[in-house]
Chain A
Amino acid sequence: MTTLIASTVKIDAPAIGRRSLLRDIGIVMTRELKPVLRDPFSLLFGMIQPLFFLALFGPLLAGSMGGSLGGGVWQWFVPSILVMTTLFGTSTTGANLLFEFQTGAHERMLVTPLSRSSLLIGRALKEMVPLFGQAVIVIAVMIPFGLELHVDGVLVGLALLAVFGIGLGAFSYALAIAVRKQDWMFWMVQQTFLFPLMILSGMLLPLETGPGWMQVASKFNPLSYLVDAERTLFAGDVWSSAVLWGWLAALVTAALGLTVGIRTMLRSAD
C-alpha cells in the first residue's frame, strides 16, 4: 500500500493539473449529474406538479375553451407544460446548493483548486440534462393522446428550453447563495416569483381574454416569449418571428443569470 501511494502521488503541485476553466466546468457538471444518473427516477419527482397540471388542468381547459384554441388543446398545452417543468425544476435547483452549504460540501470545494466560476457554470449547465429527460417523457406520453409531432420544431424547442433553463438555474443558485444564512428565505422568494411569472406568461390560460394590465405585464415577462415560441415551434413553424423573440428572451435570461450567479459565487465563502 505504502509503495503504491509513493508512486501515485508524490505531490509536486505545479507539475500536476494544468487548470482550465472548461475542465473545471466539466468536473462540476459531472459531479452534479452523478446523483441523477445513479437514480434516474429522481427526475420524476420534479415532474409531479406539471404532470398533475397536465392530467387535471388539461381536460378542464379542453372543456371550457377547447373550441377557441384551435389545433387541439394538447398542441397548445403541452408546450406550456414543458416550460412549466423547466420553471419548476430549475427555479428550485438552488436548494441543492443550499443543502451543500449546510452540510459543508460547498466549503470543501471552495478550498480545492476549482475555479469559483466553474462551481456556478457547471451547476447551471447540468440543468439541461434533467430538463431534456423530463421533456422527452412528457412528449412521449402525450403522443398517444393526439399530440402532433414536428421533429424539427421540437428539437429547436428543447434547445430553447435548455438555454432558458441554464439562465433560470443560475438565478436560483444566486438566490441560494444570497440567502444562505437565512435559508427559509429561499422558498419564500422562489414562490413569490414563481406564480406571477407562471400566470403572466399565458402558460395556463390565454391572456388575450384577460384585462389589459395583465397583457401589458406579460410583455415584461421573459417567459411569455418563451411560451409563445414553444407553441409556434410545436406547431412546426421554425422560422417565425415568435421563435426569434423566444431566443432573445432565453439568451438574455441565460446571460444575466450567469453573470449574477458568478458574481454571487465569488463571494460565497464569507
Chain B
Amino acid sequence: MISTRELTKDFVVSRTETVHAVRGISLDVEPGELVAVLGPNGAGKTTTLRMLTTLIAPTSGTAKVAGYDVTTHSSQVRRRIGYVGQGNGAGHSQRVGDELLGQGVIYGLDRRSAKRRTEELLESLELKDLAQRKVSDLSGGQRRRLDVAMGLVHAPGLLFLDEPSTGLDPQNRANLWDHILRMREQYSMTIVLTTHYLDEADSMAERVVVVDHGEVIADDTADALKRKLAGDRLHLTVGPSNQSRVRELAAQLPGAGEIQVDGDQVLVRVADGPAALPILIGAAQQNGVPVATAQVHRPTLDDVFLNLTGRSLREADSNGKAAA
C-alpha cells in the first residue's frame, strides 16, 4: 500500500540554516495494516505524512502510495487516499451536510450517491441531527468526527490520520476510536496515523513506527517493542539492611538485567516479570528477608523510547521544536 525508499525532506529556513525534517525514511505498509507513527513533536511525523499525501514534494528518495509515485502521479494518489489533517477539513462557515455532500461530488460521485453516502456517514458517525448546523457551532468532538467522515466519503482504501485525537477529552477520544475502528472493519481500510499519545499507539495500532529526528528508530508491534527494547521491571520493598542480599538473589533470576537499589526499594529488570516475581519473593523468604511490597511494572512505549534515545517522550516533546 505504501513503499518509501530513503525519503528525505529539507526545509530551507534561511540562507545559513536548513532543517533536515526527514532524513531517509524507508517504510513498507501492507494492505490492511493499522500503523501508528509515534514520536515527539518535530520528529518528522507530520512532514512524512504530508509527503505521502502529496501535499509537499520530497527533497530526495521515492514514495509509492496506493500503487503510484507521489511526485510523478500525485493526482492518481489523491483519488485513492483519504486524509484527515490536524485541522478541520470542513470549512467553519459551511454547513455539515453541505460539506460532506460537496466532498462526495469532489471525488466524482454523482449527486444521488453523494447524498446517500452523506446520509450513511452522518448516521454512522452520530452526526445525523447536526446536518443543518454550521461547522463552527459544533463541539470539538463532533467536529473531529466530521473530519473523519470527510476523509471517508469516497471509501478510500488507505486513510491517513494526522494526530486524530489531539485536543479531545478521554471520553471523546475513546468514542472517536470506536468509530475509526468500526469504519476500518467495514471498508477493510489500511490506516496510517501519527500520534504523540503513547497509550493510543499502544492500544490501537497493530504496528508502531517510532520516529525521532527524522529517522525511523524502531518498527514492530507494540508488544514486541516493549519485550525487546524495555522488558519488565520488578519493584520490591525490603527492610533497610537487606538490599544487598536481595540484589544477589535477583541477579540469579532467569533473564535478569540491570538491578538498581533506591532507598529500601530494589528494582530489577527481567524478561518475564510475572514469572520472575514469585521466584524472587520465595528466594527472599527462604533467606529470611521479609518482603513488604512487591509489584511488576510492565513497560510502556515511553520506556521503549527512553531506552532508544535516552530521553523520555514527554521530555523530548517539551524540548523539541514545533512540529514541522
For A208, the chain B residues whose CB sits under 8 A away are none
Partner of A112, one of B93, B95, B107: B107
What CA separation (Å) do A38 and B110 show in the bound complex?
22
Out of B83, B105, B113, which one reaches A8, CB within 8 Å?
A: B113
Q: Are B80 and A13 in contact (CB under 8 A)?
A: yes
Any B CB within 8 A of the CB of A104: yes
Measured between beta carbons, the chain B residues less than 8 angstroms from A105 are 87-92, 94
Q: Is the CB of B120 within 8 A of A1?
A: yes
From the candidates A35, A99, A107, name the one contacting B85 in the complex (CB within 8 A).
A107
Q: Are A30 and B102 in contact (CB under 8 A)?
A: yes
Least distance between A124 CB and chain B CB atoms (Å): 17
Which residues of chain B are near A112, meaning CB under 8 Å?
78, 103, 106-107
Known: A9-B154, A112-B107. A103 touches B91 (CB 8 A): yes
Residue A100, interface by CB 8 Å: yes
Contact assessment for B108 and A113 in the assembled complex, using a CB-CB cutoff below 8 Å: yes
The A contact surface, by secondary structure, is: helix
Check if B87 sits within 8 Å of A104, measured CB to CB.
yes
Report the Cα distance A11→B117, complex, angstroms.
13
Contact of B311 with A by CB under 8 A:
no
Closest to B185 in A: A2
Residue among A14, A18, A100, A103 having the largest count of chain B Cβ atoms under 10 Å? A103
Q: Judging by beta carbons under 8 Å apart, are B94 and A113 in contact?
A: no
A13 to B154, CA, bound (A): 9
The answer to whether residues A114 and B106 also contact, given A1-B123, A9-B117, A35-B93 and a CB cut-off of 8 A, is yes
Q: Is the CB of A9 within 8 A of B186?
A: no
For residue B62, CB closer than 8 A to chain A, the reply is no
In the complex, A104→B154 CA distance in Å? 19
CB of B108 within 8 A of CB of A104, answer: no
Stretch in B51-59, B223-231, B258-266, B314-322 with 4+ CB within 8 Å of A: B51-59
Q: Which of A98-138 contact B (CB under 8 A)?
A: 99-100, 102-105, 107-114
8 A Cβ contacts from B51-90 to A: 53-56, 75-76, 78-81, 83, 85-90
Whether B175 is near chain A, meaning CB under 8 Å from some CB there, is no
Q: Is B271 an interface residue (CB 8 A)?
A: no
Whose C-beta in chain B lies nearest to the C-beta of A15? B108
User: Could you tell me if A269 and B187 are in contact, using CB atoms closer than 8 angstroms?
Assistant: no
Chain B residues with CB below 8 A from A18, complex form: 108
A108 to B50, CA, bound (A): 11
Shortest Cβ distance from residue A4 to the other chain B in the assembled complex, whole angstroms? 6
Q: Does A43 contact B (CB under 8 A)?
A: no
Residues of B near A19 (CB, < 8 A) are 75, 108
**Chain A residues in 8 Å Cβ range of B156:** 11
Known: A8-B117, A99-B92. A107 touches B78 (CB 8 A): no
Interface size on A, residues (CB 8 A): 37
- A5 CA to B182 CA, complexed, in Å: 14
Q: Which chain A residue has the least Cβ–Cβ distance from B103? A: A112
Question: Given the complex, which residues of A lie within 8 Å of B103, measured CB to CB?
Answer: 112
Nearest chain-B residue to A110 (Cβ)? Answer: B55
CB pair A5 B106 closer than 8 Å: no
Report B101 CB to chain A, min CB distance, Å: 10
Closest to B54 in A: A111
Q: Nearest Cβ distance between residue B32 and chain A, in whole angstroms?
A: 16
Q: CB-CB contacts of A48-76 with B at 8 A, as 1s and 0s?
A: 00000000000000000000000000000
Neighbouring A residues of B116 by C-beta, 8 Å: 4, 8
B262 nearest CB across to chain A (Å): 47
Q: Which residues of A contact B89 (CB under 8 A)?
A: 104-105, 107-108
* Distance in Å: Cβ of A46 to nearest Cβ of chain B: 14
Please give, as numbers and ranges, the residues of chain A lying within 8 Å of B24 by CB-CB distance.
none
Q: Does A31 contact B (CB under 8 A)?
A: yes
Bound complex: CA A16 to CA B85 (Å) = 24
Contact of A5 among B109, B147, B155, B157 (CB under 8 A): B155
B residues near A107, Cβ cutoff 8 Å: 55, 85, 87, 89
Interface members, chain B 106-143 (any A CB < 8 Å): 106-109, 113, 116-117, 120, 123-124
A5 contacts B186, CB within 8 Å?
Answer: yes
Closest to B83 in A: A111
Q: Does B98 contact A (CB under 8 A)?
A: yes
Question: CB < 8 Å: which of B50, B79, B99, B186 contacts A2?
Answer: B186
Q: A16–B108 contact, CB under 8 A?
A: yes
The verdict on B150 contacting chain A, using a C-beta distance below 8 Å, is yes
Residues of A within 8 A of B75 (CB): 19, 113
Given contacts A5-B187, A16-B107, A19-B108, 4 further A-B contacts (CB under 8 A): A9-B113, A17-B109, A34-B94, A269-B55
Q: Can you give 13 contacting A-B residue pairs, CB < 8 Å?
A: A1-B120, A8-B113, A8-B116, A11-B80, A27-B105, A34-B94, A38-B98, A96-B93, A108-B87, A111-B53, A112-B78, A112-B103, A113-B106
